Amino acid sequence: MQRGKFITFEGGEGAGKSTQAKRLAERLGRLNIPALVTREPGGTPVGEDVRALILKDRPTDPVTELLLFVAARAEHVTSVIRPALDEGTWVISDRFIDSTRVYQGKRYGLEPEFIRQLERYTVAPDYPDLTLILDLPASAGVERARQRGALSRYDAERLETHERLREGFLEIATEEPERCVLIDGSLPLSSVETAVWQAVSAHLLAEAK
């Protein structure tokens, strides 16, 4: 049996990640490709507890925050993502390693090599086959997130911070062009969906046949 493909959505708040993850799973389903949508932090009982903990009591130490996210991810990879891929299910994760590189790494100035090392222990060899980075001006993203409902403590950060985070995702897209496809998240929903589908078809469907 063919192993499933692993796709991640990344980008700032309100960029459309959750919406597009769901739509992509529906499209794959119509092609009889089993797909599982999951999210980070979260995706497992332990991960959801870590998510609630981080959102409730923000750790004061950046390394504490980093390790909590990484701990949740380790659990997510071993108990959800890897078993699903092994049984041929495609996995779509709403945020993954790039969010950690940007939100914990760049924002706090933590060493990229330390973060890569943690990825090697928790994610390797199951790095995403394809990462869709939805790009949107920070002001537009925050406005969308506000309209959607309550802002989390991450959403409520200053606009400059969101712009810096956006730059972080753009840098990753440039650094890893094999894995990452940058998509303009300011386009209408259906255009973003089309761009997502084109990327998935070009990168993954041809070889899955």
Ligand X SMILES: Nc1ncnc2c1ncn2[C@@H]1O[C@H](COP(=O)(O)OP(=O)(O)O)[C@@H](O)[C@H]1O
Q: Would you tell me which residues interact with ligand X (CB under 6 A)? A: 13-19, 144-145, 147-148, 187-189, 192
Closest CB 13 distance from Mg ion, rounded Å: 7
Nearest distance, CB of residue 23 and ligand X, angstroms: 9
Toward Mg ion, which CB reaches closer, 18 or 89?
A: 18
- In whole angstroms, what is the distance from residue 38 CA to residue 35 CA? 10
Which residue number, 18 or 79, has a Cβ lying nearer to Mg ion?
18
Q: Contact at 8 Å (CB) between 17 and 11?
A: yes
Q: Which of 114, 165, 118, 157 is nearest to 137 (CA)?
A: 165
**Nearer to ligand X (CB atom), residue 53 or residue 187:** 187
Closest distance of CB 109 from Mg ion, Å: 26
For residue 184, what are the β-bridge partners? 135
Tell me which residues in 9-28 interact with Mg ion (CB under 5 A).
Answer: 17-18
> In whole angstroms, how close is the CB of 91 to ligand X at the nearest point?
17
* Tokens linked to 114: 């330390």
d(CA 17, CA 94): 6
> Nearer Cβ to Mg ion, position 17 or 144?
17
Q: Say how far apart CA 14 and CA 26 lie, in whole Å.
A: 20
Q: Of Mg ion, ligand X, none, which one does residue 144 interact with (CB within 5 to 8 Å by kind)?
A: ligand X
Q: Edge-to-edge, what's the strand order for the sheet holding 130-135?
A: 35-39, 90-94, 6-10, 130-135, 180-184
- Enumerate binding residues for Mg ion (CB under 5 A): 17-18
